[in-house]
Structure 1
Amino acid sequence: MEIVNIEASAFMEMNDILFKIEKQLKGLNSSKSELNEWLDNQDVCILMNISDRKLLSLRQKGLIPFSRIDRKIYYKKEDILSYVRNNLKTYTNNGNGTAGIE
């Protein structure tokens, strides 16, 4: 095993640089998790169990906000979940074989 001696000031400077690199890497990890919050057309269709044509209709009516990068469309997950919550209809069995909306 080889032992290398360095000055204390050089060691402290190296330590500070490593700390800055670690801080930048942690920042990259947090921004990556924000990217996971976005869904594409296929994800939204599967999540909502709708066709791509229905999704286009919701987009054109302005009911679901979206962002476009080149020709690809993305949706914030929270916007989709909010739309689903606000437009959720609950069905109950009326006891006579018919379903009613609450």
Structure 2
Amino acid sequence: MSQDFKPNYKKIFEDIVLKKCPQRYQEFEYYFNKENLTILDVIEINNRIFGLKDKLTMSFNQQHRSYDYETILEMLTYQQTEKLNNVELANHFNLSRNTVSKWRRLYLKY
């Protein structure tokens, strides 16, 4: 009976765009029309609205990210389709190499 309660990121970001920069609404309309936003979509929208931060802020924010099962599988599928090794995938998504190798061990059964 446990329900998975997640923030309504679509509504949150839509409100931010409408209040902060309504002229850029069309730039984000693709995301707002999607049924559900993935974690990667949320990160992309956040970076596009607020821009990239300095190294210290990025490091702090990276420590507090969490990924759901579907997002992890999406990243690992991306790795396979693009033929990336663990280091390249980690750099692309700003992850630790150890995190990528742990995900591969846990979620990819060979």
Give the TM-score normalised by the residue count of structure 2.
0.23
- Structure whose alpha-carbon radius of gyration is higher: 1
Give the TM-score normalised by the residue count of structure 1.
0.25
Structure with greater proportional strand content: 1
Structure with greater proportional helix content: 2
